[in-house]
Amino acid sequence: MTLRRIGLLAAIAAALVLGSALASEYWGGLVPCPLCLWERHPYRAAIALGLAGAVLPPRFARPALWLLVLVMLAGVALGVTHVGVEWKFWPSPLPQCGGPDLSGLSIAERLARMPAIPAKPCDEPTYLIPFLPVSMAMMNLLASLAIAAGTVFCLRRSKP
């Protein structure tokens, strides 16, 4: 398999995952939590790195694709963090994941401090497929891992 093809496949895979997240938000009505929004960044970088790997000369394409692997492993780390928050193994590292503390405030002060668009708590899993007990955070973790592993597999089998 050529580096050009590896880059294109990785970019397409990342675009499909990112596109499905955006489609579930815009057309499916799902509200992403702050961690979900962070988990989208590695896919954006993977699209750019995959396309760079597809157009650059081989001596630059290979490092770009290995960097794509590292970026997707960061996506795996974000996925593990989010799944751990959902399973209540640890609290979210983002302060935006919890609701605002409105205790001890008057009604007017509470209304003034309420966000315009309510955020979804990070510790409440969202299940895209009702009969499948795999949350979107777990699907993200698996997709990041699959793109990273698939890219490594292809790079190791490609010509130097």
Give 42's contacts (C-beta < 8 A, 6+ positions apart). Answer: 71, 72, 74, 75, 78, 144
Q: Can you tell me which residue has the tokens 């960097």? A: 67
Query: Rounded distance, CA 7 to CA 9, Å?
Result: 6
DSSP 100-148: P--TT--HHHHHHHS-SSPPPPTTS--BSSTTS--BHHHHHHHHHHHHH
Topology of the domain comprising 3-93+119-157: Bromodomain-like (1.20.1550)
| Degrees, nearest 5: CA angle 16-84-40 | 25
Query: Rounded distance, CA 66 to CA 126, Å?
Result: 31
In the chain, where the domains are located = 3-93+119-157
pTM of the model: 0.85
Among 151, 140, 131, 127, residue whose Cα is nearest residue 68 = 151
The single-letter DSSP state of residue 160 is -
Q: pLDDT tens string for the chain (160 positions)? A: 899 999 999 999 999 999 999 999 889 888 888 899 999 999 999 999 999 999 999 999 999 999 999 999 999 999 999 999 999 999 988 877 765 555 676 777 766 766 555 567 888 888 878 788 899 999 999 999 999 999 999 999 987 6
